[in-house]
Amino acid sequence: MAATLLDVEAVRARFSSLRDGGFVFLDAPGGSQVPDEVGDAIARALREASANIGANYETSKRVEQVLATAREDGARFLGCSPDDVIFGQNMTVLDFALSRTAARDWKEGDRILVSRLDHDGGVAPWVELAADRGFEVEWVNVTEDLGFDYDDLADRLDDRVRVVACVGSSNAIGTIVDVARVSELAHSVGALCWVDAVQYAAHVPTDVQALDCDVFICSAYKFCGPHFGLAYGRHELLESWRPYKARPAAADPVGRRFEPGTAPYELLAGFSATIAYLESIGGMEAIAAYERELGQRFLDGLPDGATVYGQPTMDGRVPTFLINLEGVDAADAAKRLAGEGFGVWAHDNWYSLGLREKLPYPDSAIRVGLIHYNTADEIDRFNTALAQL
């Protein structure tokens, strides 16, 4: 196995929750642990910048600096202009808000395509919008190996399709979607490519320009940040939309138009600390390379009788795995593993309702989600615990 450039022990020293080494967090898809410096930045902003923008005193100017810095940090993380960054409560809230903005001038009978790989946070906004406005929503299928079915997407496209919504990677089985390919197909009929990137952005270096998508939404609490969401929107698209917001609120830069009220400035400060943390350990390139090694170690060490749903290697996936053990109830296994110091979940649908119809287990499965602060020793011990089950 190739040597990693990530100093994992130095990384773990920055997390109070990881310092004793007793409990092994393998639940990153549900939310990651947070380094102390992020919490410190949030507390410092509350102490020193508890104000609002636009006033002529020092605390207000500090808030303005927090906001400007966060836009620059978000742009660097996503690979776009600071003008095109939008902040919000989380991915789901942003998705509900932006989908309604996008659809203001759509007509009854217009079509929306969503993927069976999608988390319902990226499906429900379109389902509810369709119910209100008379649109049609259809699933894009998965292949036999639970990958995105690009041929099925191509077959469903016509000039009534207004948007193709997909995940960047599955929150249940880790499959990565070729977003650039989806964008090309969507744009061929004048539709938007709209990406739920919650799992993708947490594990894959992101360049929204290269992906050529129109909207890209993620949540910082999946990559060691606060409970906070950010989005990218294509500049000319954002300029063309009429936002839902309080009318006197700031409308410059263009991304600001879609933030309807006062931002949680302390969380913006925490977000900037998160980006600084990620960059200080080598950035997403180093993180992705290390997580790929870690994920392959997990797959190679699984005991006989373990079933992995989706891709059997680290090719085409992030380190999020859905597994079952022959003859072992998943819910019981998760409880027993928690008692032995391993944090994993068992669930039925993982909020991926379309995918659940294609998963062959009867009741539930165990989700194992790795992230860069996990160690090879933790993975080996976990696989030993699985074998003992």
Residues 291 and 317 sit within 8 Å (Cβ to Cβ): no
Give the domain ranges of the chain.
Answer: 8-34+282-388, 40-278
What average pLDDT does this structure show over 229-254?
92
**321-347 pLDDT tens trace:** 999 999 999 999 999 999 999 999 999
User: Residue 4 has what pLDDT?
Assistant: 60
What average pLDDT does this structure show over 257-261?
91
Calculate the dihedral angle through the C-alpha atoms of 218, 349, 174, 293, rounding to the nearest 10 degrees: 110
User: Residue 53 has what pLDDT?
Assistant: 87
Nearest-angstrom CA–CA distance, 196 and 208: 12
What average pLDDT does this structure show over 67-73?
97
Query: What SS3 state is found at 11?
Result: helix
CATH number for 40-278: choose from 3.40.640.10, 3.40.50.2020, 3.40.50.11740, 3.30.210.10. Answer: 3.40.640.10
| 326: exposed, middle or buried (Cβ count in 10 Å: 0-12, 13-18, 19+) | exposed
User: Residue 250 has what pLDDT?
Assistant: 77
- What is the DSSP-derived secondary structure letter of residue 294? H
Nearest-angstrom CA–CA distance, 171 and 83: 29
What average pLDDT does this structure show over 21-41?
96
pTM of the model: 0.96
Q: Above pLDDT 70, what percent of the chain? A: 99
User: Residue 238 has what pLDDT?
Assistant: 97
Across the chain, mean pLDDT equals 96
What average pLDDT does this structure show over 376-383?
97
User: Could you tell me how many residues make up the chain?
Assistant: 389
Q: Which fold has domain 8-34+282-388?
A: Aspartate Aminotransferase, domain 1 (3.90.1150)
User: Residue 2 has what pLDDT?
Assistant: 41
Asked whether the predicted pLDDT for residue 1 surpasses 50, the reply is no
| 9: exposed, middle or buried (Cβ count in 10 Å: 0-12, 13-18, 19+) | exposed
Is cis: bond before 253, omega within 30 of 0?
A: yes
**157-200 pLDDT tens trace:** 999 999 999 999 999 999 999 999 999 999 999 999 999 999 99
